[in-house]
Amino acid sequence: MKAAASQVVSVLVTLLGLLALTFFMGRMLPIDPVIAIIGEQAEPETYDMVKAQLGLDKPIYVQFGVFIRDMMTGEFGNALFTGNSVAHDIKRVFPATIELATVAIIFGVGLGVPFGMLAAVYRGSVLDHVARFIGLLGYSSPTFWLGLMGLILFYASLGWVGGPGRLDVVFLDMVDTRTGLLLVDALLAGEAEVFWNAFSHIILPASILGYASMAYISRMTRSFMLEQLGQEYIVAARVKGMSRWRVVWRHAFRNILVQLITVIALAYAFLLEGAVLTETVFAWPGFGRYLTSGLLAGDMNAVLACVLIIGIIFVGLNLLSDVLYRLLDPRTR
């Protein structure tokens, strides 16, 4: 109980810190925001009036209070480059990123876990080295470059996958938006053709985005498995006559499940970072692309809101993985 209370306090303090850091970022601007609006030649009275309207005449702690209130109630202001409120924009673009990240994590887990298991069971073999090298490449590759090369090879040359964007132009707006996840919406509407088109568009960006998380997941799986396989109970089970893979699945794998879940939660959080670059390359109308468009347009309202939201999601997923660990691992009770 005491641990839970201190966790809550710690999360609240972190959230306050996130807010303070984004507030500080907004104040670092080298240009005077008032002059940016009214221009250099304006009368001093106009200057004072606009300054008061922006709330910049108040003491800094009052401004910070107003900032916290606005952020907590979702009043992120208007995005100048879209003309909508930032909150509205984010609601619109978020599902696209969730869809991309979810397909990516399925890819990362689906390949990363078996790779890591095999590498651990056949430790030191060719397979282990190959898996390690593929992982290292995943850590070292610039995702935006992989994306471009993937587009050249699989889209332009081979024509195996769909191009940039979420759908071919002819399929746009063919299904109603219910969840915002195109794959799900297409299935709900029973439009198989739309589903396959959306699938052909998402498969390349998702697998490239998932590659780095696959590297991370397989490395962690390998080290967790090695730790288990070195334990005496494994030897005991083998001596008893159990087959190698039965021991691996029934005993070792079950014991690493909890650790694995926390790793996957963290990997999902890091996908948000990769999404910024992947979405830019694939013209994917999601959160990351919204953030970079805001950056290039110099729109601080949009940028600060996005940075803050990603920070909150990051903290949230960290917390979630902590809580899951406590709930699932009987030793921590």
Partner 1 sequence: MSGYLRAWLTAEVTTSPRHANVQRFYFGWLRLRANPLALIGLAILLSLVVVAILAPVIVPVGPNDQDLTRRLLPPSAAHWLGTDELGRDLFARVVYGSRITLYMSCLVAVIAAPIGLAVGTTAGYFGGWTDTVLMRINDIFLSFPPLILALGFVAALGSGIENAVIAIALTAWPPIARLARAETLTIRASDYIAAVRVQGASPRRIILKHIVPMCVPSVVVRITLNMAGIILTAAGLGFLGLGAQPPMPEWGAILSTGRQYMLGAWWIAAIPGLAILLTSLAFNLFGDGLRDVLDPRSE
- Summary count for the chain: helices (H), strands (E): 14, 0
Distance of CA 142 to the CA centre of its chain: 16
Shortest CB 11 distance to partner 1, Å = 10
Q: Which of 255, 287, 272 is nearest to 317 (CA)?
A: 272
Side-chain half-sphere of 81: how many Cα atoms within 13 Å? 15
Contact 135, 223 (CB under 8 A): no
Residue 42 DSSP class:
-
Angle at 193 between CA 192 and CA 194, to 5 degrees: 95
Find where tokens 């967790």 sit: 224
Which span sits near partner 1 by CB under 8 A: 164-172, 187-195, 255-263, 308-316? 308-316
- The rounded distance, in Å, linking the Cα atoms of 216 and 115 is 11
- Binding residue for partner 1 (CB under 8 A) from 96, 100, 120, 151? 151
- Find the part of the chain contacting partner 1 (CB under 8 A) among 70-78, 106-114, 140-148, 257-265: 140-148
Q: Map the footprint of partner 1 across residues 277-306, applying CB under 8 A.
A: 277, 280-281, 291-292, 294-296, 298, 300, 303-304, 306
3-state secondary structure of 78: strand
Whole-angstrom Cα distance, residue 22 to residue 305? 8
Query: Which residue lies nearer to partner 1 by CB, 273 or 329?
Result: 273
State how far the Cα of 214 lies from the Cα of 114, in Å rounded to an integer: 10
Residue (112 or 294) nearer to partner 1, CB: 294
**Could you give the 3-state DSSP secondary structure of residue 85?**
strand
- Comparing CA positions, the residue from 187, 213, 207 lying closest to residue 270 is 213
Interface residues for partner 1 in 237-276 (CB under 8 A)? Answer: 269-270, 272-273, 276
Contact 156, 171 (CB under 8 A): no
- Closer residue to partner 1 (CB): 115 or 195: 115
Residues 12-51: x where in contact with partner 1 by CB under 8 A, - otherwise, as a string: -xx--xx-xxx--xx-xxx---------------------
Scanning 51-59, 110-118, 144-152, 168-176 for contacts with partner 1 by CB under 8 A, the matching segment is: 144-152
DSSP state of 181: -
Site string for partner 1, 117-136 (x = CB under 8 A): -------------------x
Residue whose CB is less far from partner 1, 118 or 291: 291
Nearer to partner 1, 209 or 276 (CB): 276
Nearer to partner 1, 189 or 323 (CB): 323
* Interface with partner 1: number of residues (CB under 8 A): 50
Instruction: Give contact residues for partner 1 (rule: CB under 8 A).
Output: 13-14, 17-18, 20-22, 25-26, 28-30, 136-137, 139-142, 144-146, 148-149, 151-152, 156, 269-270, 272-273, 276-277, 280-281, 291-292, 294-296, 298, 300, 303-304, 306-307, 310-311, 314-315, 318
